Each structure stands twice: as C-alpha cells, then as structure tokens.
Structure 1
Amino acid sequence: MVTSAITLHPLATRLTRPWAGRLLAAALAGLALPACAQLPPAMSAALQRAQVPQSAVSALVVPVDPPLAERLRHRADIPVNPASVMKLVTTYAALDLLGGDFTWDTQFLTDGTVDQGALRGNLYVRGGGDPKLVLERLTAAFIALQDKGVRVILGDMVLDQSAFELPDHDPGAFDGESLRPYNASPDALLVNFKSVVLTFRPDPAFGVAHVLSEPPLAGLAIDATVPLVRRGCGDWRESLQARFDTADAIRFLGSYPASCGERVWPVAYQDPASYAVRSMEGLWRASGGLLTGQVRAGLTPPGARLLHSAESLPLSAIIGDVNQWSNNVMAQQVFLTLGRLSPTRVDTMTEPRGRLQPMRTGRFERSREVISHWWTTTFGIRSAPPTMDNGAGLSRTERITPEALAELLKRAARHPEGAQFVQSLSVAGVSGTAARMARSSDSTARGNAWLKTGTLRDVTGIAGYVNARNGTRYVVVGFVNHPNAPAARPALEALVEWAAGLPD
C-alpha cells in the first residue's frame, strides 16, 4: 500500500473538483497528520518586537474532537510556569470532583438557649471555606439570626476557622505589594476578601473629599475627610499619602484632586489576622445586633446546636469569578477545599463524578496530594501531574506542560458539566481579563475565543478554546517564560487570532 503521498497538511488538500476534495477529506479524517512546527508569521513578528526568542515560547493548537489533526506544536512538552492559567487545573478538578452544584456552608451554632430575643450563651460561627463570603451575604445571615430571636448575644461570638490549617502568610512576600487585594491569604472564614473599600467623594463647598469605607471594622479609625486641591487627577492614590502603619487607623496626610470626581480604592487590610474578628463584630452591630461579650477565635464545642446555615453560591458560579477575573484568593479557597477530600476516595471514584464531600482539615500539601491522585486517575501515566503550589498560579514554582494543559481542556470540553467550565472563561474582546484583546474591527477571535490569561513578572500565558472560521473548535495554549514576557502579550493574541482564522 502506498502511503507516502498522504503527508499533506489539510490546508494543502485542495483538488480541482469539489466532490473529489470532499472524498479525500473523508479518507483522511482518521489520520493524525503532522502539526505545523513553525509559529504563525504575526506571532513571530510580535515576539521579535518584544525581543523574546522562540526558545522561550510554547504553543499548541489542537482540535477538541478527534480525529482531526493538530495545527500547531512548538515546545509543547516542556514544563513552563503558567502563572494564573494554572487556575484551569484547580477549577476543572473541583468541577469534576465536587460538581457544579457544590456549595460551602457557614454555620451559626450555639451551646446556649434563645429566650425573648437573647441568646444566653456563645454564638459559634464555623467557616466552611466559602470563597465569596461578602458583606451582603453575611448581613443577610445576621438578619436571619435576628429573625430567629437572636438579637442580643449574652456571651461571646466565637469564630471557628479550623476547616483550613494554614502556614503563616506575609502578604508582601510575593511581590512587595502587601496592600493589593490579590495578595490576600485564604481563610476558612474569608470575610469580604479581607479588604477595606475606601470611597472618596469630593465636596467642593467644604473643600474636602469625604471618605467612606466598608465594611465597618471594630476598633479601626479612618479619617473622615481629606483636603481637596485643584490639579490634575494623575496618581491620586499617591497624592493621598495614606498611612497604614497601625492596625487601628488609616490616615491621610496628603490631599485629593477635585478633578478626580468620585473614586474607589480597595485595599487589603493592614492586619489581616484580625480582619475576621473586627469585621464580624462591626457587621453584627451594624445590622442591629447587640453583644455583651467579645468576638474571638476559637473552636466549636461538640454538641453545639445549629441555629442557621448560610449557603454559598454554587461552585459553577464561583469558578466564573476565579477564571474570568483571575481571583487568587478564591482560587486558593477552592484548592484548599479539594485538600479536604480523601485521596483514597479520589483514587477509587467511579461515575457519576462530582459528588465527593469534604471530610478533613484542608492544607496546601493535602490539596497537592489530592490533585496528583486525581490527575493520575483521570489522565493516566501519559501526562505527568502538574507541579502545584497554591492552585492560583501566584507562584514561582508551579509548572505544567502545554500538552498536559491541552489534554485537560479537551477532557473538560467533553465533561457532562463542560459547558459550565467553558462559560467560566473570559471571552476575547467581550468579558473578563480577555476583554482588552481582539478589539480591532477585523478581529476574527472577538466573541469566538474563551480564554484564561496569566501574567507574572517573567510570565505571560493564555489557554482556552477558539471557534475557528472552518467550524472547528480548537484548544489553544501559549506561554512565554522570559524577562520580556509582558511585552510579548501581543504574540499570544496573534496566536489566538491565527487559530480563529484557520480555513478549511
């Protein structure tokens, strides 16, 4: 049998007669044709402008559904630092093991009795690792408690954060930006991402900008006003000369440009270890509740009675925030929740998947163990498990190969809940972190690419799905690990555009 003639890329299988072309395409459908090893011209040109060598680049474009052939492969078997693209591993593992309808519970329990509007005993708040326990949901929980007769706590409010066991965390250790909310540490009782939201509202009649803040933090004094000045907005945060020296105060030694109008500045609270205590007391009192004791950390005693349970948003909604907006602390909450699973049950899990329940204390090392077991069970020995750290990509040590990530993305697209996973990604030129790409009027990728982006000091990456002009959905993976990586972002955007424009 002569096979040497069947070595052409699908783009080269053009025959004079349309029916003959269709016959040949059908005959070749089951063959794995070789992928192109040369990067697309627009991508190569962008790399040259960024002064990034092709040896620092990885790229893979492969169809979701077999038996169609790969279209591009470049250094796809080399482990790379994926930055925030690693969130794809965390979120897909969670979807597969827990299911899209999985929820976290924040429980309110007592060892006392409720009588005539008073709780005679302690109120225990046991965190379950809810990744999005924001102010509105906590306030709703407190109001629900008061509706059940708990308006005065004649005892302490005890915060039980034992569902996670975490190492000491320096929020400025990674990049020196301790006040950036993305550096917030995870917590079994993660209240409002441990952030303080400052709003500056100019009042020209009085020559000041009023400072509003949320949530109310017990024992934290914040300057109520800052002087207005007439000048361009510029770096208005620097102009404020904000001081975060102590846990008990936020001061402003500078001024606020009137030309800025109203601005919002979310900052990570300077003493994250006391955030839960301060915020829970502040929110309880702001919601109309009274407390005779103190708010403190502690454990829930055996036999405590459940008064109320605040259920989180479902996992399917949580992974949307994680992937579209690259929320680091939410990703770590999900990652730590996986560490609460039994690796033995992960090993032996059979269809239907997605119904495991947390059984133990979550730790980072346990999460890495569970992911490794899950990966081996799901993907076999063909693809080595990724090297995980915190599951968010905010790491210098996490590693994965592009071909391993592509295999994950292909499996995710075919998963029973795969549509939820795809919809959790940013849409090129439309939403999330990919909204700023594919903005030109002639972009083929705009609205046709579902992507996760990632950026660190020496890393830029992109991975996801692209619907091409030829009607095929492709998995597209691209990474640059190089000191000039941020300048090479246009090269990865060119890769996505190339994939979107693939003809028949």
Structure 2
Amino acid sequence: MPVSRVIPHAQTLLFAITTSAALVVSTAVPAAADDSDPIADLREDIDEILDDPSLEGATSGVVVRSLDEGDTLYTRNATTRLLPASNMKLLTSAAAMDVLGPDYTFRTTVSADEDPSDGVVDGDLYIVGTGDPSLSVDAFSDLAEEVADSGVTEVTGDLLADDTWFDDTRLHPDWEEGDEPYYYAAQISALTVAANEDLDTGVVNVTATPGYRVGAPVNVALEPMTDNLSLTNESSTGTPDSARTLDVRRKSGGNAFTATGGLPLGGAPYSTLRTVHEPTDHAAHVFADALAEEGVKVHGEVGRGTTPADADELAVRHSDELSDLLIPFMKLSNNGHAEILIKAMGRETLGKGTWQAGLVQVKPALDRMGAEVKGVRQADGSGLSRGNLLRADVVLSLLDAVRDEPWYGAWLTSLPVAGEQDRMVGGTLRNRMVGTPAEGNVRAKTGTLTGVSALSGYVTGTDGEEMVFSIINNGHKGSAPRDVQDAIAVRLAEFSRTASTRVDVLPPRHGTPRAQDTPDAPGRSTGDLECTWAEAC
C-alpha cells in the first residue's frame, strides 16, 4: 500500500469501511489558509485513490458533478466506452419506467377450453404467463385455489403452459456458457417460478445438511421439487474436521441434478441456488402440484400450448406494480428481472417479446428524459453480456435527467443505500461504507464482472450539496476494487466547498466470496449478483 503525503496541523478522523472489511483514514483540514482550494484538493485526492496498485494497468472512467452548482468536480476517461456490468441496469430500469409506466403489472391467467359449468373441464387447462418475476409457489397455490373455487374439480385433457408472450430464446447468445448453472444467468421465460423472497426466477433452492454419521449421505433437497426434476445423491458426510466439498450440478440441456462431495459431520447447513432447464416446464409442474393440493384432478399430461382465443378465463393474478418490483430488482441486482423487463418492453411496443424488440426501446426512452446517450452499445438488460459498452458521462447524464421524471422518487428508492443492513434497503451496498459519512447517504448501483467493477449514483456532501458520480473500472486483476470506489464515495460525502478534506490512508485489499458459496443469503453474494466468476470477483 502506498504511503500518502502527511498534511501538517491536521485533525485525523477514522472511519471504518466494511466492504469486505477495510479501513479508510481521512484528514479534515479547515479552510484557514488563503490558498486553500477544496475542489483542487478533491481532484488531487481522487487521483491518489485511483493510483491504488489494484488498478495498475486498468482503465477507470470517473466523473463527479454537482447537482446544485452544475459544475464538474472531477473527470477521468469520462467519454471512454467501458464494460458497465450491472450499471447497465440503470438504463434498463429507467427505460422500463418510461415505456411500461410505474403502475405496470404482469398478468397471469388460467383458462379452460370451455366453460366448466358442471365442474369438469372437457378439454385442456391453460396457465398463461406474461413474464411476472414474482410468481412464487404461494402465487401458484392462490391461482389453483381460485380455479377450485370456480367449481372445477376435474380436467379431462392436459395442463398446458402458455409462455408465448415472450419468445423461446432462453439464454442470451453473449452470455458465457460456463455461467448457465448459476442463478445470475437463469433462463428467461414468460412463465417462471420465483423460488425465494428475493424473487430469483428460473432457479431452485438447494439445501443440504450433514448425515447422522461419517460416511452417511448428506441430506440434499431441491425446492420447489417437481416431477420434471431429478436428484442423484452421490455425496457423503465427512469427518468433523473435513472441508466442505459439496456441490450440486445439472447437465446442460436437462434437469438431472447430481450432488457430489460432502459436508463435515456436525457442520453448518449449506444452501445455494441452481438454475433449471426450461423454466416454463418447471412452472407448469409447480402449478400441477398446486392443483392437486386443491383437489383438481388433471387426467392428461403437463406440457406447453397456446391458449385458444375463445378460452374461458377461470383465474387471474396481477403482480405488484413495477415501481414496487424495482426494489428486489435493483437492490439485489437481479439479472432475470432486467431481461424480463427488456422483453416486456418489446412485447408491449412492437408485439414481440424478444431481446431485439425490447432493446431498441431503451435509447428513445432515455432521449425523452433528456439524457445525453452517446456511444452506448446495449446487448442485454442486466449487464451480464460483455457486448455492452457505456461511458461514465452517459451514466451521469441519466442520473441527472431522471430527477425530472414523475416516477423519480420510486426509482431513487430502488437504489442500494450504503451501510443499511436491511437487504431490501441496503441491497448490494449493505456491507459497504459502514461507519462513514457515506453510510445512509450514498445511493448507488453496483456492478461486477471478472475484471469489471462499477459504482454510480448520488451522494450528499458535508454542507448538503447534492452530487452525482459514476465510477467504472475495467481491466483490473484479482478482486473488484470496491474499497477504492468506497474511498471515493466517502471522500465525496465529506466534500465541502468551505473546508478541504484530504485522504490520508487508502483501505487494504481483500478478497470477495464467490456468489454460490456465500452463507449470507442462499446462493447470493454479499456484493454484486451478476458476476461471471473466474479466479475472484
């Protein structure tokens, strides 16, 4: 770690930053000297922060602007096109609020071939999705209960899932093949199951506990388990001092899961998330089980089909409004939600639920807001694709422009808040900048891919000055430079035009847990949730 300059006659303030555990030491210098220039000092300090060895050979696009004064406080490579990772979600979410509207809801229906006036559906029963990312197991149960309450007790034909609201391209062609088993690269469908309270779609929860003795199989389960999934358990319980080696994988193209490795005897439970193949089929089987629980017997098979135009509607469910769905989407950086919104925009505007039809809606929406969108290349909605390119000054322009939109309050609320431990408030920033002036102050979107890291959002200075900032790092080696980003954000939170605050010591470097191994929440990372994992992220 480099040793920075020593500033004479300074009062030193210590602030603990909990990124992956780090410490920032700041030095506040009163504006006593006539030659003090707080803005020049800010720029010099940010330059020093960005000189951290972790960014050697990397490119950093950084820009800071005062919303109150309108002046640019700092800029470096602001017009360089860089990989944004999940900062792309800033564009996707804002466009969705403009194109779909903050009160937009997803509609899921159940219909029959004919009116079952006698309690029997003579023909097929259809469940029709429009992309609702909040369709939990309980939601499917509610739909089944509504079908039963309509008097239906029997279906002579098949139970068919209609997911034709979107196309059948499940995975973006740019996504890395090796990511496919992991929740952040789940397949996209117009009918999918939200497997947990975080509303992760297209996945199952994997839970495991050690067996009762050394050598006994580990107790492994998938939830929600359905007839279209299988689990082969080849795992075993190790000695109490053994390492956890348990892993659950499925072969690409199917839903045959295999558990291997082991857990130590008496060790902690293990949980993670794994994607399913063809989430529409999994959703259909979840609904079939719900119907059976309600006493509705389906004589035929569970499959897929297109609902006839004259089908009789038996049940309907509306999701929460988009302004509310933004909370789990943006707070937890949910990739599946981003792609669903892209396809929903395409369907609602061009009648095509495709990536192509949805992506072309983003730039016109941002133009309508008054954002200066230059040099943007958007390949997907989440930022998982390495085909995305974005400039830091474009992010800043968007952050500024959305403040004039009627839905800005809801959009701002959806951004993670530094140091706030409630996951649906702090989100991906809940463990960062704790105990600093940035805690409860910085509202920003994170972003992480291997060799890519970003943090962009809003911060209030010591004197109440509102600022926007964007930091996009590309080409760094090892773990993401989140402590460097945090040091900049804390420096901005300390900024005053009447007193200079100088950075004295940069925080140490630490690694970041792999997303699939983090115990904080099943399958989720304590940092970002969109990673392409290599050695570290």
**TM class, shorter-length:** 0.7 to 0.9
- AA aligned opposite 1:49: P
Q: Determine whether 1:374 maps to 2:368.
A: no
Alignment of structure 1 residues 75-94 onto 2, 5 Å: 75-94=77-96
Q: Secondary structure at the residue paired with 2:91?
A: helix
Q: Which residue of 1 aligns with 2:206?
A: 198
Aligned sequence identity (%): 24
Whether the 8 Å contact between 1:171 and 1:177 is mirrored in structure 2 is: no
Q: Is the 2:49–2:488 Cα contact (8 Å) retained in structure 1? A: no
Confirm whether residue 41 of structure 1 aligns to residue 50 of structure 2.
no
1:312-357 CA-to-partner distances (Å, cap 9, x unmatched) read 1211122111211111011100111111233xxxxxxxxxxxxxxx
Say which one has the larger Rg: 1
Distance in 2, matches of 1:412 and 1:209, equals 51
* Partner residue of 1:113 out of 112, 115, 136: 115
1:95-134 alignment runs, 5 A limit: 95-134=97-136
Note the C-alpha offset of 1:385. Answer: 6.4
User: Bigger shift: 444-453 or 362-371?
Assistant: 362-371
Aligned counterparts of 2:411 and 2:356: Cα–Cα separation in 1: 25
Aligned residue among 323, 327, 337 for 1:330: 337
> In the alignment, is residue 438 of structure 1 matched against residue 433 of structure 2?
yes
Matches within 5 A, 1:196-235: 196-202=204-210, 204=212, 207-223=216-232, 227-232=236-241, 234-235=243-244
Which range moved further: 170-179 or 105-114?
170-179
Question: Aligned in 2, Cα 1:297/1:242: closer, same or farther, shift over 3 Å?
Answer: closer
Q: Hey, what does 1:405 align to over in structure 2?
A: 395
**Match 1:180 to one of 174, 182, 202:** 182
Aligned to 2:407: 417
For the 8 Å contact 1:152–1:290, the answer to whether it is kept is yes
| 306, 321, 326: which one aligns with 2:328 | 321
Q: Closer, same or farther in 2 for the Cα pair 1:97/1:174, shift >3 Å?
A: same
Equivalent of residue 276 in structure 2, options 269, 284, 296:
269
User: Would the aligned equivalents of 1:57 and 1:480 in 2 still touch at CA under 8 Å?
Assistant: yes
Task: Please list, as runs of the form range in 1=range in 2, the aligned pairs for 1:320-399 lying within 5 A after superposition.
Answer: 320-342=327-349, 360-379=351-370, 382-384=372-374, 386-399=376-389
Asked if the contact 2:249/2:258 (under 8 Å) is kept, the reply is yes
Report the secondary structure of 1:339's partner residue. Answer: helix
Alignment partners' CA distance in 1, 2:29 and 2:246:
57
| Contact 1:47–1:488 (Cα < 8 Å) also in 2 | no
Aligned to 2:509: none
Q: Which moved more, 1:463-472 or 1:160-169?
A: 160-169
How well do the aligned residues superpose, as a CA RMSD in angstroms? 3.2
189-198 vs 457-466, which deviates more? 189-198
Task: Check if 1:161 corresponds to 2:163.
Answer: yes
Unpaired runs of at least 5, structure 1: 1-10, 18-32, 343-358
Match of 1:64 among 57, 62, 67: 67
- Pair 1:463 & 2:456 matched: yes
Hey, what's the Cα distance between the residues in 1 that align with 2:466 and 2:291?
50
Alpha-carbon spacing, 1:152–1:378, altered in 2? closer, same or farther (3 Å): same
Give the 3 Å change call, closer, same or farther, for CA 34–377 of structure 1 in structure 2: farther
Cα contact 1:172–1:178 (8 A) shared by 2: no
RCO comparison, higher one (Cα < 8 Å, 6+): 2
Give, as a single letter, the amino acid of the residue that structure 2 aligns with 1:341.
Answer: E
Partners of 2:275 and 2:100 in 1: how far apart?
A: 30
Closer, same or farther: CA 232–503 of 1 in aligned 2, 3 Å: farther
Instruction: Give 1:305 deviation, angstroms.
Output: 2.0
Between the aligned partners of 1:242 and 1:487, the Cα distance in structure 2 is 27
Aligned-pair CA distance for 1:299? 0.9
Query: How far is 1:204 from its partner?
Result: 2.7
Q: Which has the higher helix share?
A: 1
Partner of 1:454 in structure 2? 447
Choose from 257, 266, 280 the match for 1:259: 266
Change (3 A) 1:293 1:487: closer
1:296 to 2:303 alignment: yes
| Amino acid across the alignment from 1:50 | S
Number of residues of Structure 1 aligned to a counterpart in Structure 2: 456
Instruction: Measure how far apart 1:438 and its partner are.
Output: 0.5
CA deviation string 1:120-146 (max 9, x = no partner)? 221111111112222221121111211
Question: Shift of the alpha carbon at 1:225?
Answer: 9.3
Would you say the 8 A contact 1:160–1:300 is kept in 2?
yes
Contact 2:157 2:300 in 1 (8 A): yes
Deviates more, 1:452-461 or 1:400-409: 400-409
Q: Deviation string for 1:191-237 (max 9, x for gaps)?
A: 23121212223453795543333113114333579543323464342
The answer (yes or no) to whether the contact 1:469–1:502 under 8 Å persists in 2 is yes
CA contact (8 A) 2:240 2:266 kept: yes
